[in-house]
Structure formats: structure tokens, C-alpha cells
Structure 1
Amino acid sequence: MAIHWIWQQPDWPDFNWQAERLAPLLRECVQAQGQLKGMAQSVDGSLSAQSELDALLQNIVTSSAIEGEQLNVGSVRSSLARRLGLEQPAASHVSQRSEGLAQLMLDATRHFDDPLTLGRLFEWHQWLFPEQETGITARSIRIGGLRGNEPMQVVSGRIDRPNVHFEAPPRQGLEEQLATFLDWFEASRSQSSLDPLLRAGIAHFWFVTLHPFDDGNGRLTRTITDLALAQGEAQAIRFYAMSASILEDRNGYYRVLESSQKAALDITEWLKWFLQTLLRSLQQAIARIESVLGKARFWQAHRESDLSVEQTKVLNRLLDGGERGFEHGISAAQYQAVAKVSKATATRHLAELLEKGCLQRLPGGGRSTRYQIAYPENFTG
């Protein structure tokens, strides 16, 4: 039999990789993990909870977006917030879809110590597909059960000349293949010679290659990745959303999966892409936490500065920086527009903010003068 797919290799699934090529990236990821963990510990309770909610929400929404599904963000946020104890149950309708996705994410991250079993996977699959919400029936896909006997392929192109990007292992023997994966997943947690981040990358590749369900394989693969990362960090709180970084390079994601699934058992290229994507996710989270900490410290320093409503509004816009288009400071004309005040009032407000140490003047003069936040001296963000 000609070998087209990695699972047809005689030694499947005995993966190998070139450790020396991955070592520099691994070091960067571990350092970023440590930095993020240290920063997170300095964030007070309410800000920490809000940052975690934002990361979990981003993870759920982007994992579905990778599959081309647009979720109701407000509904998912409500489901998550209630489960995290951040708000009371909402009177308005929250969809069963949102409830299932929130339950799935929190089960994987909050209960990271629980073993990953076939029963747990089936339960996750049921949460993904509430029948009354998705319009999917148990007849169209097997909800909470393994896929059927027909070949599982990812194809594109014309019906009469399809381009097969991937074909999963046949249905016969799938139970044994999945049992091998689940046994490895449990045993590898205590394997000191295997870096936890590499373990997460291997788990991702292995499970998505098995493709054990009719639908939802990608989302469950990324959930298993979140579970593996939480186990590696030995903490339930999440401040970064790897699915968001995968979505940013969705084409690269599918490309490296396809090339690796058509290759031999050396998965170095896949693991390299995985670590690069994880690193980007960690770095983005560090930048967000820095912004949150900077804003909190700024308002702590100016809690008695007696600022007007307009001044507070403009300062918050500046503290949000690039998100609001003022990463290069604000001019007097922009202050006037944002605060909705007269030119004279804008000039007076800016002078007061300079005097109180809230703002500093950037180089340049005249009409082009711009102002930016003056962070407290002990702020290093």
C-alpha cells in the first residue's frame, strides 16, 4: 500500500522532532509564560477576573471563527460571566449554544486535573451541539459518538475532480487509536523528558489527525490544547487566547497541518509553527496586561486630582492607546472633538492636565503640539 498520510506510516504514532531547532522558541515561550504569570499576580482581583473573562471569550469566539462560524458575542460573554461569578443570571435569553461553549471552555481549564476520558470527550461533543440551537440532529451527525463508516476527508475544488487535503484514519480501529491517544495524554503529564508545551503541540496534531467525530474536531482539538496548556502551567486562570493567534494565521495553520499530515513522523515543522503561534499569543496577552496595569496605576496616582468628566473621558481614551486611535498622543483639536467642548475650554483643560502631571507635551509646537499620558515614575510598563 502506497503511503499518502502520516497515519499510514509503519511506526505511527511514534512522532519525532529535531529538538535543537525548537529549543530557542521553547525558551522564548517559557520566558513569556513566566513573565505573564508574574504580571498576572500583580493585577488586583477585579481586573484579573475581567482579563480572564476577556481571554476566555476571545478563545471561544475565535475558535468558532476558524471554522467559519460567527457567534453571538454578548450571549457567550453572559454565559461565561455568570459561571465566573462576575454577574447575576441575566433575565434576557442566553442561547444553549453559548451555554455549551462556556461550559466546554471552563471544564477544560478549571478542571485541568481531571483525566481526559472517552466519556468526557463525548460530553464535550454534546455541549458543542445543542440540537435545538444548531439545527443539527443526531441523524445528520452523531452527537456524543464517534463518526460513521464513510471516509472522513477534507476536500476542495470541483466535485468531479476534488482536491483531497486530508483523509483521516478509517473508522475501523478508531476506538483503539483514540484509546492509544488518551492513554498517552494521561501518561505524558508526568513524563519529565517531554516539555509541557511540546506535549500540547503533539496532542493538538495527533487528535486533529484522528478526526474522531463527524463535526467539531477542530474546536475539540483546540479545547484539548487549552487543557494541555493549563495542565502544563498547573493553573486554571487563563490570560491568553491561543485560538485568536491561530485565527490570525488560519491559512498558515491549515497549510502546515496538511503538509505535516502528508509527511513522515518528523513533526518539527508543525511544532515550530505551534510554538511561534503560542509565543505571539503570550506576547499579545503581556501587552494587554501591561495596558491594564498602566491604567490602574495611573488612576491610583491621580485619585485625588479633581478632574472634570470631560478630562476623565479623554484620559481614558488615551490610556486605551492604540485601541482608540491615539497611540501617538492627542492634539488640542482632537481633545475638543472627543470632549465636545469649545476651543478655549480644550486649551484650559490641557493646561490643567499638564499642571497636574496627567499629561506631558510631546516634542513639536504650534498647532501640531500633541500630548500623551504621563505615567507615574515607578511605572515600567
Structure 2
Amino acid sequence: LIAMLCKVTSDLDKPITQQSLCDWQAAIFPEPSLSKKLIIGELRGDAPMQVVSRKRNHEVVHFQAPPTSELQKELNAFISWFNLKQPLEMHGIVRAAIAHLWLITIHPFDDGNGRVTRALTDRALAQDEKTSIRFYSLSAAIEQNRSSYYEILENIQGCKTKIQEKCETDITDWINWFLDVLANAMQQGQQRVARVINKSHFWQTHSQTILTARQNKVLNRLLDSAGEEFLQGINASKYKNLADVSKATATRDLTELVSKGCLTQLPGGGRSTRYAIKY
């Protein structure tokens, strides 16, 4: 799988083919599924591809992919579009958003469509940025927003009435959702890079500071989770749980870390006294 993800974002000038997509899907399933029979490395079979739920005694079809009779034509059109040097002279990020929606709507495989689509989206973004190296993960951001992801897809892809089928699909809401999630992914990437830099600087500053193993453990936890956890600092109770020590020992450790310049005491006091990393 890792090899596949690396391959997806390499040779960015090389056109994709149907075989490329099939190879990516096959890489997701290196061993046959024991729970169900899947077509691996080939397009899906003749069975209808639907996302269905039941409400009371009624079956609700949330999404229906193109029938097998149209699949090849739809996939050919998508691949031709994706391989254009500059499709409709659109921005590369908008191109990536459209590519994602288009391929996931075609749903060309029995299984693994989401992962193949995210891989292709990574390739589109890499092509726009002209590099295979990125410090953010769109897939992780989509996973964090999984509920809204499926909701927006259902709204855009949802089975249409006969009147709606005569109209073009408006994908503005999808583009906006994609841009918001991508921006969030980039912000998280910047935060991770900042954490690595700050942690490195912190330990360079304290390379000669004598600390216990438990103090090292807590400091690394604070450094690794900066911006995500302990946003209001750490108090003696949280230190006690992290280091598995008594409340009295936790208080002494925190006081010592302040005296050694590792932590700084935040405004406030008493039993709720909190501390943060001193960079």
C-alpha cells in the first residue's frame, strides 16, 4: 500500500491509464477477502452499484453509480479529461476537487473506490504543486470530516427526479467543502511542522538539563500534542495521571520543571494552577 501511494505521486508528467487505476486498486487488496468475493484489479461486474439504507419498511437509494453498460465510456471520458495539460484552464486545486467527485461518482470498482479516489486526488494536488512531497494529509482531513463528507456527496450525487436529471449538476457546494477541508489539512500540516521545529529547539536548549524519566515523558507529551491537547496547560492532576505518581510528587515535579526553565506557570493559582512549555 505504501509503495502504491509513493507511485501515485511520482512521474507526475506521465498520463494515467485505466490500468493505472486497476493496479492501485489491486494494491489495496494484496490478499483475497475472506468475507466477500471481490473483483480485484479489474472494473466492477454487472451487479448494480448502490448505496442503500432502510427507513421503516422502505428502501432508500442514496446513490447509484453508472450502470456497467456505461462504465467504460464514463471512465474513458474521465481519464481523457484528467490527462489534459490544463483542463478548461482551471485552478489545480479546483481540478483536484472535480477529479475526486467525478471518480468517486463513477465508482469503477467492487471495493476500494474511496481509497483509489483519494490517491488520485493526491496525484492531482502533487501535479498542481509540482512536487511529490507534501506536509499535509488530505485523506486524514477527510477522515476527520467523514460525516460531512458523505453528507455532501449524497447531496450532490443523490438520485434525481426525472426533472432534475434534465438539469446540469451544480457542484459549487462540493468545491467549497473540498477547499475548506484542504485548508484545514494544510493548517494541520503547518502545526505539525511547527511542533517538530519547536520540539527540536526545546531539547537543544535543555540538552544539559538533568531530568527524570517521568519528567521527560510528560514534557515530550506536551511537545508532541502542542496545539491539540492541553490547550489550557497541564495541572498537577493531569501530571499525576500521565506520570502515574502521587499528587504530591506531581506538584514537586512541576515546581522543579519551572525552576529549570522547562515550564512556565500560567496566570491563576491555587489547586487549578496550570503550566505550559516554556519555549
Query: Normalised by the shorter chain, which TM-score bucket?
Result: 0.7 to 0.9
**Residues 338, 178 of structure 1: CA spacing in aligned structure 2 closer, same or farther, 3 A cutoff?**
closer
In structure 2, the residue corresponding to 1:155 is in which secondary structure? strand
Deviation at residue 201 of structure 1 after TM alignment: 0.5
Cα distance between partner residues in 1 of 2:80 and 2:122: 18
**How big is the shift at 1:297?**
1.2
CA 1:223/1:344 → structure 2, altered by over 3 Å: closer, same or farther? closer
The equivalences for 1:217-366 within 5 A come to 217-261=113-157, 262=160, 264-321=168-225, 326-332=230-236, 334-335=238-239, 338-339=242-243, 349-366=253-270
Tell me the equivalent position of 1:150: 47
Cα displacement string for residues 213-266 of structure 1 (whole angstroms, at most 9, x for unaligned residues): 222222211111111111111121232222222223323222222222246232
Residue 125 of structure 1: aligned partner = 25
Superposition deviation, residue 284 in structure 1 = 1.9
- 1:171 maps to 2:68: yes
Q: Is 1:196 aligned to residue 84 of structure 2?
A: no
**What is the aligned counterpart of 1:135 among 17, 26, 34?**
34
Contact map agreement 2:51 2:62 (CA 8 A) in 1 = yes
Q: Distance in 2 between matches of 1:247 and 1:221?
A: 13
CA distance in 2, matches of 1:255, 1:333: 40
AA aligned to 1:314 is V
Helix, strand or coil at the partner of 2:69: coil
1:114 maps to a residue whose letter is K
The amino acid across from 1:251 in the alignment is S
Tell me the distance in 2 between the aligned counterparts of 1:287 and 1:305. Answer: 26
Of 157-166 and 286-295, more deviation after overlay is shown by 157-166
User: Helix, strand or coil for the counterpart of 2:89?
Assistant: coil
Residues 195, 226 of structure 2: 8 Å contact kept: no
Give structure 2 stretches of 5+ with no counterpart: none
Q: Which residue in the other structure is 1:8 paired with?
A: none
Distance change >3 Å, CA 163–CA 336, structure 1 → 2: closer
Label 1:143 to 1:312 Cα distance change in 2 as closer, same or farther (>3 A): closer
1:311-345 Cα offsets, whole Å, 9 max, x none, are 32332233234689533223346545644567776
Q: Tell me the CA shift for residue 276 of structure 1.
A: 1.4
1:215 aligns with 2:111: yes
TM-score w.r.t. length of structure 2: 0.83
Which secondary structure state, in structure 1, belongs to the residue aligned with residue 169 of structure 2?
coil
1:327 match: secondary structure: coil
Percent of aligned positions that are identical: 48
Residue number in structure 1 paired with 2:83: 186
- 1:360, 1:373 within 8 Å by CA — same for their partners in 2? yes
Contact persistence 1:317–1:324 (CA under 8 A): no
Cα gap change, 1:320 to 1:179, in 2 (>3 Å):
same
* Structure 1 CA distance for aligned equivalents of residues 243 and 66 of structure 2: 61
Structure 1 portions without partners, runs of 5+? 1-100, 376-381
Q: Distance in 2 between matches of 1:334 and 1:267?
A: 46
Q: Give the deviation of 1:192 after TM superposition.
A: 8.0
Seen in structure 2, the aligned counterparts of structure 1 residues 245 and 149 have a Cα distance that, compared at 3 Å, is same
| Segment drifting more, 255-264 vs 220-229 | 255-264
Task: Give, in whole Å, the separation in 2 of the partners of 1:313 and 1:218.
Answer: 38
Q: What secondary structure is seen at the aligned counterpart in 1 of 2:7?
A: helix
Q: Is the 8 A contact 2:12 2:127 kept in 1?
A: yes
Report the count of equivalent residues: 271
Partner Cα distance (1:335, 1:270) in 2: 43
Does the aligned pair in 1 maintain the 2:53–2:62 contact within 8 Å? yes
Output the amino acid matched with 1:203. A
